[in-house]
Every structure is written in C-alpha cells, then in structure tokens.
Amino acid sequence: MAERVLYGYYRSSAAYRARIALNLKGLAYQYRAVNLLKGEQSSPAYLAVNPHGLVPLLDDGGVRIAQSLAICEYLDEAYPDSPRLLPAAPAARAQARAVALAIAADIHPLQNPRVGKYLQAEFGVGEEGKTAWIRHWIRVGFDALEPQLAAVPARYALGDQPTLADVCLLPQVFSARRFGVDLAAYPHIVRVAEALERLPEVAAAHPSLQPDAV
Ligand SMILES: N[C@@H](CCC(=O)N[C@@H](CS)C(=O)NCC(=O)O)C(=O)O
C-alpha cells in the first residue's frame, strides 16, 4: 500500500487542521515533524518538498499537496466513502468554505511566525506587541464568527456533523488559548470547540499528543 505522510509541527494550527481531517476520514498516515522553531521549514531538504516553506504538506503516495484547505478538499474528493467534510448541497458547502476561509485566510496568516519575525526585525515590535497584534486579529475574526455560530442551533459549527468549518475552528481556538485571548465573549465558539474535542478522532489530533510535542 502506498505511503501517506503528513509533514507538520505539533502546534501549527494549519497542520492541526490536516490531522483532524485525516482522522475524521479515518485515513492512517505517518507523521514527519518539521521543527518551525529551529527553522527546519526553510531547510533545503524541506524546501525540496514544499518550496513555500510552510507546514502542513501531505504526501499521499507520491501526490504532494500543500495548503491545509487544499489537503482537506483533496481528501474529501479522493476518499468519498469516508465521512464527508464538505456537505453535498451547494449552499451548505459554500457556508463551510466561508467559515474555513474566514479562519484560514483572514485570521490565521496574521499570527504566523514569519509575520511576527518581520514585525520584530523591520518595525522593532517587541514580544508584548507581537502578542497584542495576534490577539487583536483573532478577536476581530471571532467577533464576526460568534454571532454566526450562535444562529446555528446545532452541535458543531454548521450542523450536527463536523465539516471543514469545524476542522478550522478548533485549531484556531487552540491558538487563541495559546496566545491568551479571553474567550469569555465567545461562548458559542467555545461550545463548538468543546463538542469537537469530545470526538476521539478529533481529540487524537491535539498538538499535545503529537510525537514532536514538547
Ligand atoms: N495557508 C497555509 C498556511 C500554512 C502556514 O502558515 N503554516 C505555518 C504554521 S501554522 C508555517 O509553516 N509557518 C512557518 C513560518 O512562519 O516560518 C495552510 O493553510 O496550510
């Protein structure tokens, strides 16, 4: 059987998305850690795998796919017999993608290590300033997501089955906690995150359970 390898880093929220998607779909994989703190994402060996120097990257039997959302959509299309991450109906599909993109395209990139490093190196922003920046942009995103989730009377973000929206939401909540965002103002986001964490497949994807966790 062809090898399936996920390149990731335990507390990368984008890699966490890919792990949740693989687990929800019941697809086994090997995990290859890329240490972002040591700069391994910029090593010639990793750049040969992913020239963008970012994790995650999925190698599915020789098919290499970067970008967590592309990985999730690929898994859904390549393995349609396991639970679907994207609903069948066009409107529901679009809603799942919209929540996923609000997180993956609008919130998360602003908290990336390389963005923080640039703020420090070019603009003299200190650790505290960097954390304030990250918290600010998470709050801006969560302020908009909270009423959206409040309007859905269901267990997960958009219904009673986890979708791509949930795959992105939980890792963003993990990062929010990590960076000390006060989540009291986001009861529905926390409620959905806690419901997701109760799923064994999702729980197994948690950063603290990965082989490279420190
Ligand atoms: N849009 C990409 C984002 C990937 C990304 O930003 N990964 C981060 C970790 S969460 C990374 O590898 N950062 C390396 C760096 O900033 O040097 C995705 O969804 O996969």
Task: Give the pLDDT confidence of 59-82 residue by residue, as tens digits.
Answer: 999 999 999 999 999 999 999 999
Cis amide bond preceding 207, omega within 30: no
Model confidence at 1: pLDDT above 90? no
Give the bridge partners for 63, in sequence order: 60
Looking up tokens 């950063």 gives: 207
Write the residue with the smallest CA distance to atom 20 of ligand 1.
67
**Residue 74 and residue 83 in contact, taking contact as beta carbons nearer than 8 Å:** no
Alpha-carbon distance 184 to 35, whole Å? 32
What number does the ligand 1 atom closest to the CA of 112 have? 16
What is the average per-residue pLDDT within 101-110? Answer: 97
> Residue 81, class by beta-carbon neighbours within 10 Å (0-12 exposed, 13-18 middle, 19+ buried)?
exposed
- CA of residue 14 to ligand 1 center, whole Å: 6
| pLDDT score of 125 | 96
Q: For a substitution probing ligand 1, which of 7, 19, 46, 55 has the most ligand atoms within 8 Å of its CB?
A: 55
Write the residue with the smallest CA distance to atom 14 of ligand 1.
54
Amino acid at 50: N
- CA of residue 9 to ligand 1 center, whole Å: 10
55 lines ligand 1 (CB under 6 A): yes
Looking up tokens 């309007």 gives: 151
Model confidence at 31: pLDDT above 70? yes
- Share the mean pLDDT of the chain: 97
Write the residue with the smallest CA distance to atom 9 of ligand 1.
12
What is the average per-residue pLDDT within 1-24? Answer: 95
Pairing relation of β-strands 4-8 and 57-60?
antiparallel
Write the residue with the smallest CA distance to atom 12 of ligand 1.
54
| pLDDT score of 2 | 78
Alpha-carbon distance 55 to 46, whole Å? 10
113 lines ligand 1 (CB under 6 A): yes
Q: What is the pLDDT of residues 114-165, one digit of tens each?
A: 999 999 999 999 999 999 999 999 999 999 999 999 999 999 999 999 999 9
Model confidence at 188: pLDDT above 70? yes
